[in-house]
Amino acid sequence: MNVLVITEQRDAKLNPTSFEALAAGQQIAAETQGRLVGVVVGKGVAGLADELAKIKLDEVWLAEHDLLEAYTPDGYTTALSQVIVQAKPDLILLPHTYQVRDFAPKLAASLGKGMIGDCVGYRNENGKLVFVRQMFQGRTAADVVFVGDGPWFASLQAGAFRGDQLAQGAAKAPVRAAAVELRPEQIRTKPMELFREAKQAVDLTQAPILVAVGRGIKALENIALVEKLAQALGAELCASRPICDEGWLPMDRQIGSSGQTVAPKLYLALGISGAIQHVVGMKGSRTIVAINKDANAPIFEVADYGIVGDIFELIPALTEELSKST
């Protein structure tokens, strides 16, 4: 099976999830005796293509155009559909980033094909690829297979494959320029500068202990309870997205795909169900404790220690226990 991996770059730097997608590509190409092609998209990114050529793959395709300098879904879709028609892969892999979510379904649809999005893994059943993804906010997993002829598209959840296990090539792979035709009028949206809103008051990535709170906390006035526990632990307080959406904690304390990614030595998840958008931001933590009233909450899948119970009883009990024994 010939695999084509579309990498993602910003400011001429490859997104780390691109390496994870390439690692998956190496694995699938090896298992199915296929070729692996990596694609770099943008303007003035030949250096990245050269960098990519060092890893173990058969070819790097460089899709460059003045109109690809800034990302637009129209520009990327038009250019990449041309690359796919020229390269004729069977399977196209992409990292499941916000940018990929923005253009990849359209790219697949423009070729009359479908994408299995946000995969956490795959199984090779005698040559048939079965992709595993989550449903119901992580409460169930699903085995999904492609139907009909390729090319097939799949995007891969951050952390599903190991970018650091990428095999390097014995020799540099050839870099090839793809023919890209793009006209300004094909790009209907106009992107402007990227910006960051709030000054990041806290760098949660540096905190050794994090106490995270989710929907289970129910109301703003209950945040004080969690603050006390965080204090007793010498921890920083953080939250899943809904808490920050409500304004109960500032946005810069959000953990997950739209917030910060952390890996502290201890992460306490209190009243957090464990939707994938949150889990991707904290699953690398050394020790994870989850407290939730629902024994089936997906957060327990990544927890080292779990307590099924009422956080309104357990949070004060933990705070008290810590204050008396230190």
Q: Which of residues 8-67 bind other proteins (CB under 8 A)?
A: none
169 or 316, CB closer to other proteins? 316
Contact in structure between 145 and 156 (CB atoms under 8 Å): no
Sign of CA dihedral 284, 21, 297, 226: positive
Tokens 């991996």 appear where?
5
For the CB of residue 312, give the shortest distance to other proteins in the complex, in Å.
9
Site residues (CB under 8 A) for other proteins, limited to 206-245: 209, 233, 241-242, 244-245
For the CB of residue 79, give the shortest distance to other proteins in the complex, in Å.
15
Residue 34 buriedness (CB in 10 A; 0-12 / 13-18 / 19+): middle
Look at strands 91-95 and 3-6 and give their pairing.
parallel
Site string for other proteins, 118-147 (x = CB under 8 A): x-----------x--xxxxxxxxxxxxxxx
**CB hemisphere CA count around 75 (13 angstroms):** 20
Choosing from 73, 75, 214, 271, the residue that interacts with other proteins (CB under 8 A) is 73
Q: Distance between CA atoms of 184 and 28, rounded to whole angstroms? A: 37
For the CB of residue 209, give the shortest distance to other proteins in the complex, in Å.
7
**Residue 183 touches other proteins, criterion: CB under 8 A:** no
30 or 135, CB closer to other proteins? 135
Choosing from 35, 74, 222, 231, the residue that interacts with other proteins (CB under 8 A) is 74
First to last CA, the chain: 60
Question: Residues in the chain, how many?
Answer: 326
89 or 298, CB closer to other proteins? 298
- Separation in Å, CA 167 to CA 38, 54, 148, 175: 14, 9, 32, 18
32 or 258, CB closer to other proteins? 258
* 3 state DSSP class of 51: helix
**Residue 85 touches other proteins, criterion: CB under 8 A:** no
**Residue 320 touches other proteins, criterion: CB under 8 A:** yes
- From 320, 316, 293, select the one nearest 222 (Cα to Cα): 316
For the CB of residue 161, give the shortest distance to other proteins in the complex, in Å.
14
Site residues (CB under 8 A) for other proteins, limited to 245-304: 245, 251-252, 257-261, 265-266, 273, 276, 286-290, 294, 296, 298, 300-304
For the CB of residue 181, give the shortest distance to other proteins in the complex, in Å.
19
Q: Distance between CA atoms of 323 and 326, rounded to whole angstroms? A: 6
Q: Which segment (23-31, 56-64, 162-170, 311-319) binds other proteins by CB under 8 A?
A: 311-319
Site residues (CB under 8 A) for other proteins, limited to 140-179: 140-148, 152
Instruction: Please report how the helices 98-110 and 73-87 are oriented relative to each other, as an axis angle in degrees rounded to 10.
Output: 50
